[in-house]
Structure 1
Amino acid sequence: MQNVLSVCVYGSLCDSLCLFASLQSLPDVLGSHLVRVQVKACGLSALDLKLLGDVGIQKDLIPVGREVAGVVLQVGDKVSFFQPEDEVVGILPLDSPCSGLCDVIDIDEHYLVQKPEKLSSVCVAGALRDGLCAYTALHTHARMAAGHTLLVMDGASSFGLMCIQLACYHGVKVLTTSHSPQKHTFLEQLRPSVAKVIPVYNGSSDLLPVVLEETGGLGVDIVIDSGVRLHEEESEDTKLLPHKHDIISVLGSASHIKLDPPDCRLLHLKSASVTFLNQEVWMASSAQQGRYLHILKDIVEKMSTGVLRPQPEEPVPLYEATVAMETVQRHQKKKAIVQL
């Protein structure tokens, strides 16, 4: 048996979280379809403990760091996709017994894809989840096509940037919002790929008139939101978010939106559809495994060729992983990348 260090979260769905390190054992003989991977980098994202409870994963130890990139050390006797020394990348399943912060992990071959040589492990581990979310929102839910108009809220975020780049590649007209002067300057540099950057950090409510002006009064075909305000009162967390009524009002006819509105009558009048972005949906059923792997392959290929250019994230060493994960879990930071 081989012992590896793993970092897990301890805590119930209601209790506060506590990170700690533990030793896990890997068997000497691999399962038929398992791949043993030496992890080079992993991405830390906030854990959705309620989702884990809803899908029946109730355990005290929850491994963290599910987005991994590494090198294959050994393969099972029925593995057909990989050989030792292949560079791979993937997302560990929800019920994975291993943490991505292990030096070595065992993972089913059907959760991995080849990593292009020119793509760094740190880059792909940090951006893979955002790429998957962008594909799910734009291709799977919104059925994006050339000629559509897209509104991306907070386009300077890592997820928003992936949506912008993917949409531009497919000939979609992109409008986006900026949440600070620095983010506005960054997004302006993306023009003419981005047709309009709408500042929302000054407290003004220019979103609706600007969108209608840019679309000739027709509204947009797709909205990717990052949260909305349900009431007039504002808090520090919600003051930059648009009102739900404004989001619905910018929609054109037969459009798509990703949010949860109570204004169903207005949606009915626009014949608009509502979808909910659950980034874990691909892990919930093996029936979608082939499509899921196709998406992962396309993401890493587009990252390798420069179609998708994620924002660079400074990696942290393994000894800072617990502090980094606590920061991410408290939503003080969107994500972190650990280099092993």
Structure 2
Amino acid sequence: MVGLGAVPVLAGGRRGGSAAEVTVTMRALYGQQNSPGEEITFVFQERENLPPTRDNDVKVQVRACALSWIDTKLLSEIKLEKELLPVGREISGVVLEVGRKVTFFQPDDEVVGILPLDSEESGLCEVILVHEHYLVRKPEKVCWVEAAGTVRDGVRAYTALHYLSQVSPGKTVLVMDGASPFGTIAIQLAQHRGAKVISTAYSLEDKQYLERLRPPVEGIRQPLVARVIDVSNGKIDVAESCLEETGGLGVDIVLDAGVKLYSAEDESTSKSQLLPHKHDIITLLGVGGHWITTEKNLQLDPPDSHSLFLKGATVSFLNDEIWNLSNVQQGKYLSILEDIMKKLSSSIFRPQLDEPIPLYEAKVSMEIVQKNQARKRQVIQF
């Protein structure tokens, strides 16, 4: 795996323009963390002029930027802590200028992409510099907000269902919390690939939303989700429901949204009460099944491992930043971004987005996102 040193790093703020240049002042949003473990506060910073456009840089006028949770622990582990953390990495916009070695784009192209982890640029800024290898063209049919709001969840869904498991016709996929922005895209990708989808719902509203999901083809009334398991009242057994739906064979692919590690685990939040126990997931997995987990601190006891061994099942960890931590598969990553935009253009992907938010409300919206209190994807529109 190639280290972070191989990933192109932007030079934001390192070099100033010439004295003859007209000074342009722009505001950008950054996160500030005074000490480890402390809550991030978000502040707007004034910035004057961008550094000169380097050979492989693309100058982009940002039209929309989606907000995502900042993983400060990951940034600390890979030595990317900064006094000011750039906010907003999923962007869509128009190319204003390109460096002399840029081959993929030219001025006026409409683009979309995810800024790298080591970027010094905040996506919540009117104009930014991006290395060309982090961008793809945005289809004309796709609006700015949908492009920026879908790209990260699309990458996560592809990573889970294509690279950590092989979704294919006839397989059964369980998507936990399917009404979330990520769950929605994962359901649509799995169903498009011919899989049978089961999903859990955390509320009556979520259940109704999932039951209304339909394929984009007109005239087809069959829902995307074959069975919605409402776990909001705590009375329904997820493992039992999945085994019943699959005739006792179990599920081929499980995509969780967090799990309970212990029976006596602190359930201080209502969401933690709704999470399945790790034993439930192992129970409902079929022979040769794949469990894709978002639980970075997952602990499996010897009996858990033995059960997985008997089923020939696998556990994989979903870290969608892996594409940014290593550029050894850069071409594959760009192909994923392009395919996400194609599916968005053909309405195969229909994201779970909130109403577009103006820039002056970005600080408040980012605070909500950082506390994991947003149920729909938040997108800032310029």
Q: What fraction of aligned residue pairs are identical, expressed as a percent?
A: 51
The one-letter code of the counterpart of 2:77 is: D
The letter of the residue matching 1:245 is H
Among 57, 62, 66, the residue aligned to 1:34: 57
> 1:61 is aligned with what amino acid?
L
Runs of 4+ in structure 1 over 6 Å off: none
1:81-230 paired onto structure 2 within 5 Å: 81-190=104-213, 191-230=222-261
Q: What TM-score, normalized by structure 1, do the two folds share?
A: 0.96
Cα distance in structure 2, aligned partners of 1:282 and 1:28:
26
Q: Is the 8 A contact 1:126 1:313 kept in 2?
A: no
Question: Secondary structure of 1:325's match?
Answer: helix
Residues 184-210 of structure 1 show CA distances to partners (whole Å, capped at 9, x for unaligned) of 111112343321111111111321122
Q: Give the Cα separation in 2 of the matches to 1:320 and 1:168.
A: 36
Mapped partners of 1:28, 1:265: distance in 2: 56
- 1:26 to partner: Cα distance: 4.2
The alpha-carbon deviation at position 3 of structure 1 amounts to: 4.0
- Measured at CA, do residues 28 and 14 of structure 1 come closer, stay the same or move farther in structure 2, by a change above 3 Å? closer
Structure 1 residues 1-340: aligned runs within 5 Å: 1=17, 2-11=24-33, 12-27=35-50, 29-190=52-213, 191-233=222-264, 234-235=267-268, 236-259=270-293, 260-262=298-300, 263-334=304-375, 335-340=377-382
Q: State the Cα RMSD in Å.
A: 1.4
Cα distance in 2 for partners of 1:29, 1:148 equals 51
TM-score, structure 2 length as denominator? 0.86
Distance 2:153 2:239 in 1: 27
1:105 counterpart letter in structure 2: I
Unpaired segments ≥5 residues, structure 2 = 1-16, 18-23, 214-221
Q: Is the 8 A contact 2:50 2:128 kept in 1?
A: no
**Contact map agreement 1:244 1:261 (CA 8 A) in 2:** no
- The answer as to whether partners of 2:353 and 2:378 remain within 8 angstroms in 1 is no
Counterpart AA for 1:315? P
Tell me whether 7-16 or 307-316 shows the greater mean CA deviation: 7-16
Gaps of 5+ in 1: none
Q: Which has the higher strand share?
A: 1
CA distance in 2, matches of 1:29, 1:254: 53
The amino acid of 1:74's aligned partner reads: E
| Closer, same or farther: CA 261–247 of 1 in aligned 2, 3 Å | farther
Q: 1:90 to 1:16 in 2, by over 3 A?
A: same
User: Is the 8 Å Cα contact of residues 123 and 313 (structure 1) preserved in structure 2?
Assistant: no
Question: How many angstroms apart in 1 are the aligned matches of 2:140 and 2:299?
Answer: 44
In terms of mean alpha carbon deviation, does 110-119 or 308-317 score higher?
A: 308-317
How far the C-alpha of 1:231 sits from its partner, in A, is 2.9
CA contact (8 A) 2:200 2:229 kept: yes
- Maintained 8 Å contact 1:67/1:128: yes
Amino acid corresponding to residue 205 of structure 1 in structure 2 = I
Letter paired with 1:5:
R
1:279 aligned counterpart, secondary structure: coil
SS at match of 1:138: helix
Question: In structure 2, what is the Cα distance between the partners aligned to 1:151 and 1:28?
Answer: 47
Answer whether contact 1:255 1:270 (CA < 8 A) is retained. Answer: yes
The count of corresponding residues between Structure 1 and Structure 2 is 340
In structure 2, how many angstroms separate the alpha carbons of the residues matched to 1:277 and 1:210?
A: 25
